[in-house]
Every structure is written in C-alpha cells, then in structure tokens.
Amino acid sequence: MNIVLSATVFCPEPGDCTKVLTNLVAMDPATLVPLSLVFGVVVGAAVVVIIMLAAQRGRHAAEVVNTAVPDGVDQVLDALESAGVVIDPSNTVVKASPGALAFGLVWNQKLVHPELTKMVDLVRRTGEPISEELHLSRGPIGEASIHLWVRVARLGARYILLIAEDRTEGYRLEEVRRDFVANISHELKTPIGAVSLLAEALSSAANEPEQVKRFAMRLTKESERLANITQEIIQLSRLQAADALTKPSLIDLDDVVAIAIDQNRVAADVRGIRLVSGGESDTFVYGDEALLVVALHNLVSNAIQYSPDNSRVGIGVSEAAGIIEIAVTDQGVGIPEDERDRVFERFYRSDPARSRNTGGSGLGLAIVKHVVQNHGGDVRVWSQLGHGSTFTIRLPEASPATAASLGVAQ
C-alpha cells in the first residue's frame, strides 16, 4: 500500500529540514496513517477556532450597529408621563416617549435643543449623571416656552438616557402668586389713600356743611370698596382651603337664584335693567348654599355692570344627564376672544375703567371659579362682541353617589 503524504515543513535551519524529510521518507507507512489522522484533527480544530472567533467578532459588530434599546426600556418610556429619550453614541435618538415628542424635544431623530446635547456629551465623557433646570422653547420653531427639570445618565455601556419633567405650571403659579401680591397691594393702596385724603378734606372743611356731606359720601363709598376687597380676599382664602365644604347640605337652586336676584335688584332698578329668571324648578345640588349664592350673585352683578341701561339680564336653570346648568346672560359689549380664558384670573378686568368706576375688585369671577370647582363642577363663558355674554355654572345634580362623596346623609 502506497501512501502519499503532502505537508509543508517549517525548519529553523536548512539542515534540520533535510533530516526531518529523511525521517519521514524512512518511516513505515503503517506509522504514517495515525500521524496523518492526528494532523487532520489539529487542522480541523484550528479551523473551528477561527470560525468561532469570526462569529464572535460578527456578533460584536452587529451589537455596535444595532439600534435596539435594552429589554424593558421601550415599555418604561411608553408609560412615562414625563419626557424620556434614549440616545446612541452618534447622538441619534433611538427611542422617545410620547411626552418628549409633545414637549418638542426631538425632531428628525435628533435632540432639538443644544443645551440637551451638551448635557448628553458631558455624561458620555465623564460617565457621571447630571441634573439641571432648563428654560427651553417648545419644538424647533415654537415660540412658547417650557420649564424642564432634566436628568441625564448612562444606560448600559452604549446608550444615554435623558428624563425631563415639566415644571412650567409650577413656574406659572409662582408668577401668579407674585402678581397677586403686587395687585392686592395696589388695590388696597387706592382706597386706603382715598380714605386718608378724604379724612384730611373733612377736617379742613369742618365749617362747610355741604363739603362735609360730599366728602362723607365719598368716604363711605371708598370704605365700602375697601371692605368688599377685604371680604373677597377672605372668601378666596376660604375657598382654597382643604375644608371649604365642611358641612355640605341639600340645596334647592330655586332659593339660590331668588336670593342672588334680590341682592342685585336695587342695582338693576337704578339702571332700568330687568332681571328675568326661568327654566326648570325643583333642582337640587349638594354643597354650601352661602357659597353658591356668592358665586351666582357675582355673575349677576357682573352682568349688570357690563350691560347697557334699560336692557335685560336672564338667569336660567336647566338639567340634562345629571348635570344642572345655571346660565346668566347679558346684552352687554361682550368679551374679546383672546380674553375669555383670562376673565377668571384674579384682578383681571376686561374693561378696567368700567370696573373701577363701579368699584369692581377683579376678584368676582375668580371666586365664582373656585366656588364651582369646590362643588365638583365647572364654569364656562360664551361671548360675542356687541351681543353680550353668557356665563354658565355646571354642577352635578344631587344623587346618592354625590351625597356619599360629600359626606351628606340622605
């Protein structure tokens, strides 16, 4: 049996190769067969190792190219109410929560704001998480601004996670608080200053009965205005308290409407304005009767102030699907569309000159809003310039479920 063995022999010295070849040729064929098998096993094992290394390198390359985020992160971002963004090493956004899109933080798979990109780059370099308060525009071309608390940290070895919490409402409320303090200081300063001046005028006109009478009337009017502002501030403070409805009871809205009309009857008669009520009777809600009377009184008084002489103000009650509506309609000048969302703000006046002439404080509609909200309802406004306005209070009708929620015994 002739066996041909082909092999490449590596030798340090030419003489060594000659000796190896001589020995191979001199070997018995029976000895060469096992040697060839061993050689084949070694070569096969080397090939397998090379294939495994290549596969491992291929998997590593696939991981570098793969844009999938770690397991579970997708579900977490989808559930977030705040903004969440996952960024890869090329600063491409591979995943963004609905909140991030709503805030306008992401556009074309990139972070819109350079401030955010700067934070991401810093975390990628240092590996340390950072937090910062930022004031940003909403979207790439948006004019509206948002206040965000932003937290950036690593997500595994490859990704960066950015979480942003919207604090715009908190900043807005802080601005409202500052405005409230400034406005109340101004509103109180005016009648207090007037009272002081009128007191001095009375003192200097002690020997002139007509002057004393005129100054006394003005002094009474300013003191009433000051008392009204103080009372309304107290009412707002009470309405904002957690125990605004400590003792709710069953209330007949017919009584509430009747009381509110009686309180405004004199002011309406002076200007020839008719107060007309109608709609469904025997409608009941649970709550505080005094507060509801205040709310409806403010709406009727407001309607009278902004109505022309010899016109009409209507107060109607209706019920549908368990909701009771009390609508107050006037025939006044109306409210511009861009001001309708602001009329319930404290001290806001659609017509400042008219409000000051009538002694209005700008707190009436804010009180209405808080009263209605404390009773589980809302207040809406419809208006058309030159045709008047309608303010509608919507309250849940009295029911066993409503009674239970308010702690009222049936």
258 CB-side CA count, 13 A:
7
Return d(Cα 359, Cα 225) in angstroms, integer.
Answer: 6
Q: What is the mean pLDDT of each run of 10 residues along the chain (410 residues)?
A: 45 52 52 55 64 63 52 73 89 88 86 93 94 83 77 91 89 72 65 74 75 78 72 64 65 93 91 89 86 91 91 92 91 82 69 50 79 86 88 84 52
Separation between Cα atoms, residue 77 and residue 83, nearest integer Å: 8
Residue whose C-alpha is closest to residue 39's, from 2, 1, 8, 12 = 8
pLDDT of residue 64: 46
**Neighbour count for residue 260 (Cβ, 10 Å):** 25
C-alpha 192/C-alpha 226 separation (Å) is 7
Token digits for 155? 């997500």
Contacts from 351-358 at CB under 8 Å and sequence distance 24+?
351/306, 354/305, 354/306, 355/305, 358/305
What pLDDT was estimated at residue 170?
82
Distance in angstroms (rounded) separating the CA atoms of residues 297 and 363: 13
Centroid of chain to Cα 339: 20
* DSSP conformation letters of 343-384: TTSTT--SSHHHHHHTT--S-HHHHHHHHHHHTT-EEEEEEE
Dist. CA 301–CA 275, nearest whole Å:
11
Name the burial class of residue 28, with classes exposed (0-12), middle (13-18) and buried (19+) by CB atoms within 10 angstroms of its CB.
Answer: exposed
Dig out the tokens for 272 from the structure.
């020839």
The closest of 400, 398, 401, 379 to 390, measured between CA atoms, is: 379
Q: Which residues contact 297 (CB under 8 A, 6 or more apart)?
A: 259, 260, 263, 264
Provide the sign of the torsion angle of the four alpha carbons 175, 178, 181, 184, taken in this order.
negative
Structure tokens at 164: 């942003």
Q: What is the pLDDT of residue 92?
A: 93
Give which of 302, 391, 393, 384 is closest to 351, Cα–Cα. 302
Domains of the chain by start residue, with CATH: 1-41 (no CATH), 73-165 (3.30.450.20), 170-229 (1.10.287.130), 243-406 (3.30.565.10)
- Those residues whose C-beta lies under 8 Å from the C-beta of residue 318, and which sit 6 or more positions away, are 279, 280, 324, 325, 327
Residue entry with tokens 């419809």? 382
Q: What is the pLDDT of residue 304?
A: 92
pLDDT of residue 65: 46
* pLDDT of res. 2: 46
Report the pLDDT value the prediction gives residue 126, as an integer from 0 to 100: 94
Say whether pTM exceeds 0.85.
Answer: no
